Amino acid sequence: MPNATSNWTEKIRDAEARAAALEAQLADPKVATRPAELARLGKQLAALRPLLDAGRRYRTALRSIEDASSLTGDADPELQALAREEKASAEAQRARIEEELRRLLIPRDPADEKAAILEIRAGAGGDEAALFAADLFRMYARYAEAQGWKLEPLSLHETGGGRGIKEVIAGVEGRGAFGRLRYEKGVHRVQRVPVTESQGRIHTSTVTVAIMPEAEELDIAIAPADLRIDVFRASGPGGQSVNTTDSAVRITHEPSGVVVSCQDEKSQHKNKARALKVLRARLLDAEREKQTRQRADLRRAQVGSGERSEKIRTYNYPQNRVTDHRAGLTLHKLDRVLEGELEELLDGLRNWVAREQERKLVEDGASA
């Protein structure tokens, strides 16, 4: 049975062979006369570049391990110690690159390159849940800013004092936003002492997060006859004329029963455009979920009802701890995570997904 190293080496060779074939096609003068084909092949080759780079670094690490191993039996004790140190360093580098290869070899979802629609809703816990929903929204906003993405609220419902959020829907504009954030979908649980708690008791509250790829008109067909569009007067605080004209829009997609409302803009036209944007994303997400179930692919985490038992992640303030229960990853830097430093969490999730897919492939192969 081949060992893990030979398996990785074989996968790297396969990627190099695919890249060589693509380069040969791109060099064909006939392809140069077909811009669409040229762009398609170029995109496929560009997608392989990170895998090829990781492959080169993997081979370098293997050579370093081999070279160091050959010196561990040297008669010179100092050289032996240096060789052991070099070997340990190279083996740690190999392990890191193997995790990177796992992520890179996850089958690409075309939607991963899309912008995203982010939805955050307060769940169990009343006002404390609404306060934490606002904290999570700020966390994602700071992460988006660090990535150079644009985060724009499409619909926002705050609590009476304006400190908490009952529900917010936002567009996250940036290439690859959905692919990077897709595993944030689920129930997020917070454990902390609320500001209203006089006796210092820790309370538990939940917030649900949904992440959907932004859908273009070509992605999902919506027949105008399937839509019921209602206009009404916006409620709650707003600028001049927001609450005095019928600018709010509610769109119902009658075949699915999906309802979207937007009232934040003064313009009825802008609210309608925003509502349609969210509606398309929800319908596309529902279709993707249906196809995923039919193909029996890796099950995607569902938002659920917001009950405490359905958590995917816990944020514990007293211990400055955040734990992702899917990946089994715990970080003792909750304060930094809430400032938008999500890279370690997101990478840990991607590694977990890669390992789960690898395990499933092995199980499927064994049962075949």
pLDDT tens-digit profile of 249-283? 888 898 888 888 888 777 888 888 888 888 888 88
User: At 152, phi and psi to the nearest 5?
Assistant: -125, 120
The pLDDT of residue 272 is: 86
Tell me: pLDDT of 167 over 50.
yes
% of the chain residues with pLDDT over 90: 41
User: Do residues 194 and 173 touch, judged by C-beta distance below 8 A?
Assistant: no
The strand pairing partners of 187, in sequence order, are: 208, 311
Task: Look over the chain and give the mean of its residue pLDDT values, rounded to a whole number.
Answer: 84
Please name which of 274, 277, 267 lies closest in space to residue 234, comparing C-alpha atoms: 267
Q: Is residue 261 classed as helix, strand or coil in its secondary structure?
A: strand
The pLDDT of residue 314 is: 96
Q: Kindly report, residue by residue over 96-115, the tens digit of the pLDDT.
A: 998 888 878 877 777 888 89
Tell me: pLDDT of 301 over 50.
no
Strands, DSSP E only, in 71-164? 116-122, 150-158
| C-alpha distances out from residue 127 to 54, 167, 208, Å | 47, 12, 15
DSSP for residue 231? E
The pLDDT of residue 282 is: 87
Residue recorded with tokens 């969490």: 345
Say how far residue 275 (Cα) sits from the centre of its chain. 23
The pLDDT of residue 303 is: 44
The two structure tokens encoding residue 322: 């955040």
The strand pairing partners of 165, in sequence order, are: 158
Q: Which residue has the higher pLDDT, 285 or 19?
A: 19
User: 245-276 b/e with 16+ CB inside 10 Å = b?
Assistant: eebbbbbbbeeeeeebbbbbbbebeebbebbb
